[in-house]
Amino acid sequence: MSVLCTLTLALMAPTAPAADEAPLIVTKPYPIEDLTDGDDEACWKLAERVVGALDREAWATYGGPGSVRVVEPRGSFLSETKDSPSEPKKTLVVRQTQEHHQEVAVFLTKLRTSNNKD
């Protein structure tokens, strides 16, 4: 019985991805209205800062898998108006590995913290 259990556990144990396997890419939204006051130019500059502040080779511009874009919601079935105060107006949509998403979140948190000190 113990041999069977050992074999089963060995077969079910997770394995690290092979070196040639691409990392899992995840898409996540990051509200940025508070960092840009909704200004289009400021939003794109923030997107450029995110790319520049992190590992450049992780972004499509430099040959990596990641991307970032600025999105403005056009209303929602959950709200009556586009200007609902509960919905963020500008959002960075980032496609990146989970590791790099953590770096994006830390970067944006540091920006918010430094903005609150001013």
The per-residue pLDDT for range 76-112, each reduced to its tens digit, is: 444 444 455 555 578 999 999 999 999 999 999 999 9
DSSP 15: -
- Establish if 43 belongs to a structural domain: yes
98 part of a folded domain = yes
Beta bridge partners, 71, equal 91
Asked, for residue 50, whether it belongs to a domain, the answer is yes
In a domain, 94, yes or no: yes
6 within some domain: no
**96 in any annotated domain:** yes
Q: Which range among 48-52, 70-74, 90-94, 98-102 shows the weakest confidence by mean pLDDT?
A: 70-74
pLDDT score recorded for residue 25: 94
Distance of alpha carbon 10 from alpha carbon 4, whole angstroms: 10
The domain tally of the chain equals: 1
Residue 35 β-bridge partners:
none
For 41, 69, 80, 92, the CA distances from 27, given in Å and listed in that order, are: 23, 11, 27, 10
Which residue range is the domain that position 113 belongs to?
Answer: 25-77+85-117
Instruction: Place 118 in a pLDDT band, splitting at 50, 70 and 90.
Output: low
